[in-house]
Structure 1
Amino acid sequence: MILVQLIYGGSNVLMKLSLQEGLNQIVFVVYRHVLAMVLVGPFAYMLERKQRPSLSFSIAAKIFALASLGTTIHLNMFYAGLAYTSATVGCALSNVIPAFTFLVAVLLRMEKLNIRSTRGQAKVVGTLLCLGGSLIFTFWKGGYLYKGFLEKPLIDGFNAESVGKIQHVKENWIKGSVLILTSYTAWSAWLILQAVISKVYPAPLSLTTMVCFSASLQSSFLALFFARNPSSWKLEWNLELLTIVYFVSVFFHISYL
């Protein structure tokens, strides 16, 4: 798990640099999942032929919803927010995921909360620490909390002089944080739904392949409206191609493990 977090940290840095170089986030999501599907698919076919259950309409609909939450909504919102903030903020705010997941699980009655028990109290304290720590790390100003948005945050994602106006930096910082938090809300819902689907479809590689296929279709549909420039789809030997290859490799290995 520590290795996974290090890999995700590196991916955020690469993605931030690629976005600054002009990489279209929707095009990236399409390429990432098409290549991941091609890579994972053969392994899923060879290793899970016997354990793969039949695919019903109900399961297919859940997989489509899973791709919508964990990929189409989460990734596109996250990369949009990352373009406005920094890789450090993206990683810092990821600490809200356990808290959001716990809250959603309690609301759906998938998790029981007994506030009188030591375990229940620990869950509440842990949730508050996750939320509070993420927000403090992101919005801390100078000597005290929420001093105002006229000064640079603790995590410097912008150069005010190059942007020209500090007000513009402020708006981008807030907008980016909101987008990232929204993406993590979708990710938390994805974790809940994934637990449900894994019980009725216990074939992780096949499930990953179908999620990639659904995500590719959904993001391709979005690209019809937001990525119609043909030059956005052109791949060259540069940082953008390295980022796509890195993400596909990471996606495959994490899925397999």
Structure 2
Amino acid sequence: MAENGLGSSVVGGGGGGETWKAQLGMLIVPMIHGGYHVITKVVLNDGVNQIVYCAYRDLIALSILAPLAYFHEKQRRPPITKGLLISFFFVGLFGVVGNHLLFVIGLSYTNPSYASALEPTVPVFTFLFSLIMGIEKVNLLRYEGVAKVVGTVVCVSGAILMVVYHGPVVIGNSETGLQHVSQDASGMLIDGLKFIGLDQFSLGVICIIGHCLSMAAYLAIQAQLLKKYPTNISLTAYSYFFGAGLMVIISIFMSNEITDWILMPSEILAVLYAGIVASALAYGLITWCNKILGPIMIALFSSLQPACSTSLSLIFLGTPLYLGSILGGTFIIAGLYIVTWGSYKENQANAGVIAFESCVSDPLLQEKTVCQKAQD
């Protein structure tokens, strides 16, 4: 049975054994993405085409997920309907195209530390989308509901602060992450934003925020879709089918020369890591864990991303840390935990109401113990 809020379980979720396995899996995902951030930044600095890089990544992931889903879930897949295909398309649009492409463009003009600092906005955006879709509810007459709203405002304020304020370098000497990169995918965006006074770094931060919004939409839509289509590998494969198809079409129109599709040995290794580890493995874990833990809990694990990416980028790239990143990140983390506290308290209150209602409706079944807990 689906439940709302932090630590929720959705249809098809398992017991305590599967819960801790899902939590362990979601601890691995930030480390995988931290490595992806650093490796991708290196090849972007070398001039790899942004869209072509994403297209290769998604095609590799699809080539792994499609046969795995076909053979492993062949007997368990529900029949495909028109509504499911439309849902698969939107999951692919947000979770693959928007998520991957906006992140790569944003990373091109920032660095792994700064890009990952915005990842904690994903839980808040997921909460907002879940609220719109009816998965989450807010009662403004209770402290928990007010905390969710206040936390959301604080978190979004931190993201805005990171866009408008860069600040001096706090750790490091110079910005090694903002080197020249291929601008085939984002050149038009830069030209379009010059008239309102936004530089390339601001464009990068905006694209990272767009990536976080796309990831949040992906988690919220996927959680609803898993109730109708619980075969998680097949769902992920269909997402990549539509996402990779859209990415290839975009890359054909946006790439200028055939040489954009020719990769150097180091770029091939980066694409293989991105497609096999950061896409097929990581997204497979996310989908499976989403079925067990729910979208809000999955999104909360993204708060571990800044530590993983910052540590790896400082070690391997020597990228500095800016004051704007620290201040904005502080607001984001504060807002995140305010929302988390509100969700936790709300779940406790709901659990007490459910236990009390069970006592009243069925007074002959272990009333004494259950009612005492409800009254405590």
Residue by residue over 1:23-79, the C-alpha shift from the partner in whole angstroms, topping out at 9 and shown as x without a partner, is: 112111111111111112222122111210111121111111111111112211121
Aligned residues: 243
- Name 1:19's counterpart in structure 2: 44
Q: Which amino acid letter does the alignment assign opposite residue 225 of structure 1?
A: F
1:174 aligns with 2:174: no
Tell me, yes or no, if structure 1 residue 205 matches structure 2 residue 236.
Answer: no
Question: 1:33-182 alignment to 2 at 5 Å?
Answer: 33-134=58-159, 138=162, 146=165, 151-152=167-168, 154=170, 158=175, 171-182=199-210
State the distance in 1 between where 2:247 and 2:63 align: 17
3-state SS of paired residue (2:199): helix
1:32 counterpart SS class: helix
Residues 176-185 or 119-128, more deviating: 119-128
Give the letter for the 1:131 counterpart: V
Unaligned runs of 5+ in 2: 1-25, 181-193, 286-376
* DSSP 3-state at the match of 1:127: helix
Deviation at 1:125, TM superposition (A): 4.6
The aligned amino acid for 2:47 is G
Query: Which residue of structure 2 lines up, in the alignment, with residue 232 of structure 1?
Result: 260
**Given that residues 115 and 208 in structure 2 are in contact (C-alpha distance below 8 angstroms), is that contact kept between their aligned partners in structure 1?**
yes
Corresponding letter in the other structure for 1:228:
N
Query: Hey, what's the Cα distance between the residues in 2 that align with 1:176 and 1:152?
Result: 18
Q: Tell me, in whole angstroms, the C-alpha distance in 1 between the residues paired with 2:206 and 2:219.
A: 20
Cα shift at 1:181: 0.8
Q: CA RMSD in A?
A: 2.8
| Contact 2:91/2:218 (8 A) holds in 1 | yes
Normalising by structure 1, what TM-score? 0.83
Q: 1:256 to 1:223 in 2, by over 3 A?
A: closer
User: Any gaps of 5 or more consecutive residues in structure 1?
Assistant: 141-145
Moved more, 14-23 or 100-109: 100-109
The separation in 2 between residues aligned to 1:72 and 1:160, in whole angstroms, is 24
- Paired letter, 1:41: A
Give the whole-Å Cα distance in 2 for the aligned partners of 1:161 and 1:96: 23
Q: In 2 relative to 1, CA 232–45 (structure 1 residues): closer, same or farther, beyond 3 Å?
A: same
| Shift, 1:113, TM fit | 0.3
Partner of 1:9 in structure 2?
34
Gap change, CA 1:244 and 1:62, over 3 Å in 2:
same
Quote the sequence identity (%).
Answer: 29
TM-score, with normalisation over the residues of structure 2?
Answer: 0.58
Deviations 1:187-232 (A, max 9, x none): 2111111112111111111111111111121011111221131111
**1:120 match: secondary structure:** helix
8 Å Cα contact 2:96-2:244 kept in structure 1: no
State how far apart, in whole Å, the 2-side matches of 1:158 and 1:30 are.
Answer: 28
CA 118–214 in structure 1, closer or farther in 2 if over 3 Å, else same: same
| C-alpha deviation, 1:16, in angstroms | 1.0
1:49 alignment partner, SS class: coil
The answer to whether the Cα contact below 8 Å between 2:41 and 2:107 also exists between their aligned partners in 1 is yes
Give the superposition deviation at 1:11. 0.8
Would you say 1:249 and 2:286 are equivalent positions?
Answer: no
Q: In the TM superposition, what whole-angstrom CA distance separates every residue of 1:121-156 from its partner, at most 9, and x where no partner exists?
A: 4433543454355556x469xxxxx5xx5x545577
Change in Cα spacing, 1:29 to 1:155, as seen in structure 2 (3 Å) is farther
Report the equivalent of 2:245: 217
